[in-house]
Structure 1
Amino acid sequence: MSQWRTVVVAGVITGTLLYAVAGRDRQEERAEAPKRAAAVTPQRLDIPSLKLKAPLMRLGLTKEGDVELPPFEKPQVAGWYEGSAVPGEKGASVIIGHVDTKTAAAVFYRLREVRKGAEVRISRSDGKVARYRVDRIEQVNKERFPAERVYTEDGLRLVTCGGPFDRRRGQYRDNIIVYASLVT
């Protein structure tokens, strides 16, 4: 869990600041968010160029305020952070997946291979499919995680670990982030 702590803390702080700056009525927004989340949720991720098809689970926050991660016992499942936009709607939609586990490759093992222009599809519970095109892929040190770009700008964000593995800390040093824009 510590490998994501920096990412999560930065995301939570950035999300909170954006929310305050946006000037929205906090009570109204809080009342509407659970209704939206309950009404429509992303169900499946498909990246044809990687032959990747994965179910999506909902991720909330832990009691410490960190974004939950998909369980290591389900390495082929990615998670949609329900504090982000539903894919296909305005706002940043964030999907997190593991690159590997101690014993095997995980859902986002090949994510670093996706190319600009690749299609990403998210099937939703309402039967709609949100289609995105990859704009760019970024590998960034976790200490310099671009929380504002990930958690506040419109579009889909796919996030996993990558780069060199720090054996002393037991985690990857970097994050791989895929940025994609909605096309339909």
Structure 2
Amino acid sequence: MRITVTVNGEQHTGDVEPRLLLVHFLRDELGLTGTHWGCDTSNCGVCTVWLDGTPVKSCTVLAVMADGHEVRTVEGLAHGAELDPVQQGFIACHGLQCGFCTPGMMMTARWLLDHNADPSEEDIREAISGQMCRCTGYENIVRSVRWAAEHGGGRGTADAGTEPAPGREEPVPGREEVRA
């Protein structure tokens, strides 16, 4: 099938098999290897990207489902050479160890801060609850997100399109429904 997907602001058109997962399209077809591939069962969350401003686990979305939509990956967080405050926070507070879960955690953290500029520790833990980290024990990840919130990383720093549609409840990252 022929699809056109806007990824990190750049339009990509190509032919894909109908069964190709979005994570494989991003990694194998577009070379965006920042999105990691973990479990293929939606349990770990390392493959989290945004689809039209909503966090989704890209191992549960077919590439054809993204046709005509906008995808944002971890590569799209930085603005040129300037790191996003979430990325800076993960560096400053050692929010990563092996780095495998980091892209998904960062995408979820960015979404959270765009919707809650001053999240509590409980808010942060709820937001990342759909993702697994086997190394950090989550303490430094929570600190990293708080650091980002305290250093200008709140609402308004991300691209447009992060607001939910009127009357639509905001999804909790990692617990969203897969949509076409």
Instruction: Return the TM-score normalized by structure 2.
Output: 0.29
More helix by share: 2
| Greater fraction strand | 1
TM-score by length of 1: 0.28
